[in-house]
Amino acid sequence: MATAERSRPPALTIREIHARAVRVPMRRPLGTSGGTIAYAPLVLVDLETAEGVPGRAYVFAYSDLGARALPPLIAGIAEMVRGDAVAPVAVAKKLDVNTVITFSGCPPGDEKGGQPNWIVSPWPPEFSDMLAWQWKERVTPYWKDTAKTCKAERTQDPDAFKAKYGTNKNKSNAFGKCVSQHAKTQEKQDGTQS
């Protein structure tokens, strides 16, 4: 992977994680087999780093009970990871979590790292600019580099590539598994560098 060519964001350290449950009215209530959901029970999560770069996220808790139960759980997790690097795969391993959703740990919204890192709405208007910057400057180059690495490896020996990475019956998932494996390796390296 063209790691040396990519500019690396500064290493970040978890200082604190705060979580709070909120009920957000939905513009269009969601009808489910269990009833109508008129309010979104969310848990807002704020990450503070020692370097002053914030992180923001939310969890859709499905029920008010779930939303109330999550902040104490997140507080317990905060105790376990305080002082650790902001490295989702390393934190997941410490918490004995086997699956990390790929978009966790998206880049900040600007070059200085002072803007939200998980933009879920085009409002306020500057969020659209931040989202465009994330994709143009960080996300797309990262995945393009990873995909180029896998494409080159596949070109060298397609059969060996399928045997190495493929996990389904006809090994047709080899390319995706290659990209995923390289991304995990890079995340581990990013998590161990300070």
Spell out the per-residue pLDDT of the chain, length 194, in tens: 444 444 555 689 999 999 999 999 888 888 888 888 888 899 999 999 999 888 888 888 888 999 999 999 999 999 999 999 988 888 889 999 888 765 545 667 777 776 656 676 666 777 788 888 888 887 788 788 888 999 999 999 999 999 999 888 888 889 988 988 887 777 676 654 43
Q: Are 154 and 178 in contact (CB under 8 A)?
A: yes
Instruction: Convert the pLDDT of each residue in 119-168 to its tens digit.
Output: 766 667 777 888 888 888 877 887 888 889 999 999 999 999 999 998 88
Domains of the chain plus CATH, in order, are: 14-192 (3.30.390.10)
In angstroms, the CA 16 to CA 47 distance is 6
Pairing mode, if any, of strands 35-49 and 14-32? antiparallel
Residues 6+ apart with CB under 8 A from 117: 55, 56, 105, 106, 107, 108, 109, 134
| Backbone dihedral region for residue 55 (phi beyond 0: left; psi -120 to 50: alpha; all else: beta) | beta
The answer, as to whether pTM is greater than 0.75, is no
How many C-alpha atoms does 114 have within 13 Å on its Cβ side?
Answer: 2
Contact 102, 112 (CB under 8 A): no
